[in-house]
Amino acid sequence: MTSSKTLYEGKAKKIIKGPKKNTLIQIFKDDATAYNKKKHKIFKGKGVINNKISEHIMEFLKSKKIPTHFEKRLNDREQLIKKCQIIPIEFVVRNIVAGSIAKKLGLKEGMKLKKPLLEYYYKEDSLDDPMISRDHVETFGWANRSELKRIDGMSLKINSLLTKLFKKKNIILVDFKIEFGRLASNPKKIVLADEISPDSCRLWDIKSKQKLDKDVFRRNLGSLMGAYEEVASRLGIVH
């Protein structure tokens, strides 16, 4: 494992300096948190599985011409990534009602949406990541109109690609959260950043609707590692 000064430490990952200019190393931890850290637990090996699942998904998206920060997986827990300036917005795409939207709007979990719904949340833990509108994003300068237009397009494209990928594995992609950044080497270029894993997606078995994501932890539904291993194995990830 690389040992170097931590530049940033989040709930499930930390970032250290990379080997070359404009590179970083992203390290996947075993911590799981929910409800803005009110619930916290360590699942031995979660970071290793998420590193591999996220690698698999980033490689798949790259092969479909989605620009990403992902360079390569270095070992069980670490990925080499391109340095970017993260846009402080969580982009959530929903296909089916679940989680916060069910609660907020009094909707039944499982309701299929007529078309994918894109939401924006301002990344600020001290405010519990409030939901914001497109106008907020532009007004406060978090991203400009042209950037937002490109990000919206990429988010919907990612949704359609991942929906198909998971469907082939008998998994429904209910919703997910993604983040984008401006490349340090070329700030005009926006790339998909962060991770895509069962920590940041809702994934249901197509038949039984069994949850195969972090809701298992949020709602105490059984074995989180069992669920994540199931996703990895259906994606063909051997480890």
Give the whole-angstrom CA distance, residue 140 versus residue 47: 34
Give the whole-angstrom CA distance, residue 203 versus residue 67: 23
* 85 φ/ψ angles, rounded to the nearest 5 degrees: -95, 115
Size of the site for ligand UDP (CB under 6 A): 13
Confirm if 152 and 216 have CB atoms less than 8 A apart.
no
- What would the DSSP string read from start to end of 191-217? EEES--STTTEEEEETTT--B-STHHH
Q: Does 92 bind ligand UDP (CB under 6 A)?
A: yes
Which pair of structure tokens corresponds to residue 110? Answer: 């499982």
Which pair of structure tokens corresponds to residue 32? Answer: 């799981």
Within positions 113 to 132, which residues make up the interface with ligand UDP, using CB under 6 A? 129
Residue from 55, 71, 78, 175 touching ligand UDP (CB under 6 A): that is 175
Least spacing, CB of residue 238 vs ligand UDP, in Å: 25
Residue from 73, 177, 182, 211 touching ligand UDP (CB under 6 A): that is 177
Residue from 56, 69, 202, 211 touching ligand UDP (CB under 6 A): that is 202
Residue from 17, 99, 152, 160 touching ligand UDP (CB under 6 A): that is 99
Residue from 24, 32, 183, 201 touching ligand UDP (CB under 6 A): that is 201
Residue from 26, 50, 51, 200 touching ligand UDP (CB under 6 A): that is 200
Give the whole-angstrom CA distance, residue 166 versus residue 79: 23
Least spacing, CB of residue 211 vs ligand UDP, in Å: 11
Return the range that interacts with ligand UDP (CB under 6 A); candidates 66-74, 138-146, 171-179, 230-238. Answer: 171-179
Number of Cα atoms under 13 Å in the Cβ half of residue 166: 28
Least spacing, CB of residue 73 vs ligand UDP, in Å: 20
| Residues in contact with ligand UDP, shown as a per-residue x/- string from 44 to 83 under the rule CB under 6 A | ----------------------------------------
Least spacing, CB of residue 102 vs ligand UDP, in Å: 8
Return the range that interacts with ligand UDP (CB under 6 A); candidates 56-64, 95-103, 110-118, 137-145. Answer: 95-103
Alpha helices in 29-187 (DSSP H): 46-63, 100-105, 134-139, 145-168
Which pair of structure tokens corresponds to residue 128? Answer: 């519990």
SS3 16: strand
* 231 φ/ψ angles, rounded to the nearest 5 degrees: -60, -50
Note the residues at the interface with ligand UDP (CB under 6 A): 90, 92, 99-101, 129, 175-177, 200-202, 214
